[in-house]
Amino acid sequence: MNISKNSVVSFHYKLSNNEGEILDSSEGREAFTYLQGTQMIVPGLEAQMEGKGKGDKFKAVVAPELGYGEFNKDLLQQVPLDRFGEQKVEAGMQFQAGEHSVVTVREVKDGQVLVDGNHPLAGVTLNFDVEVTDVREATKEELAHGHVHGEGGHQH
């Protein structure tokens, strides 16, 4: 069967930027499994998955606006260093800010911390090498829960 809304899809991938640097890869791991149509993967990749089948290998180039978003300067913020208390703060550190977002420390200077609320891959064109390893229909239960059960999914 071909991938369409409510397909359970397993795939291996290699993700690189336009400079050819590998940013992420499923190599050495289990294939990534998701439910098509639920935006569990970036929209630009989900769209290009549509119609593909088991065994298909393809390249998907995803622009930032269909990936992790454009880089937003408004998400850069100066925070006084003393707000971090005793905690050691250095450029490159990441902090949880709320339930779903992570901020990255860009710079510590003159008692101020420059924090960046952009996704680490914001503004990056994503180049995926994809190999679809399995496609099946979601069960009724999976559709009701909105996620995949079993291998590569929720175990409950």
Residues that bind Zn ion (CB under 5 A): 145, 154
Least distance in angstroms from the C-beta of 143 to Zn ion: 10
**Residues ≥6 apart with Cβ < 8 Å to 110:** none
Residue 32 CA to residue 131 CA, distance in Å, equals 10
- Residue of closest CB approach to Zn ion: 145
Q: Which is nearer to Zn ion, 14 or 145 (CB)?
A: 145
Least distance in angstroms from the C-beta of 141 to Zn ion: 7
Residue 141 CA to residue 73 CA, distance in Å, equals 42
Q: Which is nearer to Zn ion, 93 or 143 (CB)?
A: 143
Residue 153 CA to residue 31 CA, distance in Å, equals 11
Q: Which is nearer to Zn ion, 12 or 145 (CB)?
A: 145
Q: Which is nearer to Zn ion, 136 or 145 (CB)?
A: 145
Least distance in angstroms from the C-beta of 80 to Zn ion: 43
Least distance in angstroms from the C-beta of 15 to Zn ion: 27
**Angle ∠(56,35,33) on CA atoms, nearest 5:** 60
Q: What DSSP line would sit under 82-99, residue for residue?
A: GGGTT----TT-EEEETT
SS3 64: helix
Ramachandran area for residue 37 (φ above 0: left; ψ -120 to 50: alpha; else beta): left
Least distance in angstroms from the C-beta of 134 to Zn ion: 19
Q: Which is nearer to Zn ion, 5 or 154 (CB)?
A: 154
